[in-house]
Chain A
Amino acid sequence: EIVLTQSPGTLSLSPGERVTLSCRASQSVSSTFLAWYQQKPGQAPRLLIHGASTRATGIPDRFSGSGSGTDFTLTISRLEPEDFAVYYCQQYGNSPMYSFGQGTKLELK
C-alpha cells in the first residue's frame, strides 16, 4: 500500500502570499494518478488538480501542480481569502487502491 505524507500539517499565511504544499509517496506513483483536493469546513472536497498538473474544470490558474515519482507539490501563486482550507493529495494504484494524504491546513495568519 502506498502511503502519502503531506507537509507541513498546518501553515499560517496571509492573503497575497505564495504557498507550496508537499505530498511525498512511500513508493513511486504514476503522475497520471495523482490528484489534489480542497476542502472547506462543512463542505465536500473539491477536485483541484488531476494528472499531477492538470487543473480541473473551473479551477483558477493561481493553482498549479507539479512533480513526479515520489514528490509532488501544489502551489498557490497568490492566496485569496477563499483559499484558506484543508488540502489533500490522493493517488490511485493497482488492486485498485485509492489513498489520501493526511491533509495540510492553510489558516489565516
Chain B
Amino acid sequence: QVQLVESGGGVVQPGRSLRLSCAASGFTFTTFAMHWVRQAPGKGLEWVAVISGDGRDKYYTDSVKGRFTISRDNSKNTLYLQMNNLRAEDTAVYYCAKDGSGYGSFEFWGQGALVTVSS
C-alpha cells in the first residue's frame, strides 16, 4: 500500500533554513508527480509546490517562490522541500502528497511534519 512519511520538521528562527523529506513506498515513485501542501494552525489547506516524476518540472505558489526548492531523488524514493529565509507565516504542518495523475488532485497524503518559525 502507498506510504508517505515526512521528516525534518521542527522549530526554527526567522530567516533560517530547514529541509523536509518524504520517504515514499508502495508505488512506482518515478511515475508520479509529487506535491507539498501546508496547513497553518487552525487554518485551511494551501498548495506549496509540485515536481514532475523525472524532476525536470517544478512549480511553486507565489508566496514561496525564490525561498523554497522542491526536489526528488528517484533512486531513494524520496521527496524534499528545502525552505530558506523562513518567515513566521510559513509556520504550518507540511504534507507531502502523491499526484492523482490526470485529475489535478492529491491522491495520497503523508501524516505531515510541523514546522514552527519563531524567535
Q: Which residues of A contact B (CB under 8 A)?
A: 32-33, 35, 37, 39, 43-47, 50-51, 56, 88, 90-93, 95-103
Contact partners of A90 in chain B: CB under 8 A: 45, 105-106
Listed by A's residue number, 9 A-B pairs whose Cβ atoms lie within 8 Å are A32-B102, A33-B104, A47-B105, A50-B100, A51-B103, A91-B104, A98-B47, A99-B47, A101-B44
Q: Mark B32-56, 1 if CB is under 8 A from A, else 0.
A: 0001000000001111001000000
Contact partners of B68 in chain A: CB under 8 A: none
CB distance A47 to B100 under 8 Å? Answer: yes
Contact partners of B103 in chain A: CB under 8 A: 32-33, 35, 50-51, 92
Q: Which of A50, A95, A102 contacts B44 (CB 8 A)?
A: A102
Confirm or deny: B95 has a beta carbon within 8 angstroms of a beta carbon on chain A: yes
Task: Name the residue on B nearest A45 (C-beta).
Answer: B109
CB distance A45 to B107 under 8 Å? Answer: no
Given contacts A50-B100, A88-B45, A103-B44, contact A96 B107 (CB under 8 A): no
Task: Name the residue on A nearest B50 (C-beta).
Answer: A96
Contact partners of B100 in chain A: CB under 8 A: 35, 47, 50
Contact partners of A50 in chain B: CB under 8 A: 100, 103, 105, 107
Question: In the complex, A44→B95 CA distance in Å?
Answer: 8
Q: Mark B78-110, 1 if CB is under 8 A from A, else 0.
A: 000000000000000001000010111111111
Confirm or deny: B69 has a beta carbon within 8 angstroms of a beta carbon on chain A: no
Confirm or deny: B111 has a beta carbon within 8 angstroms of a beta carbon on chain A: yes
Least CB distance from B44 to A in Å reads 5
Question: In the complex, A102→B44 CA distance in Å?
Answer: 6
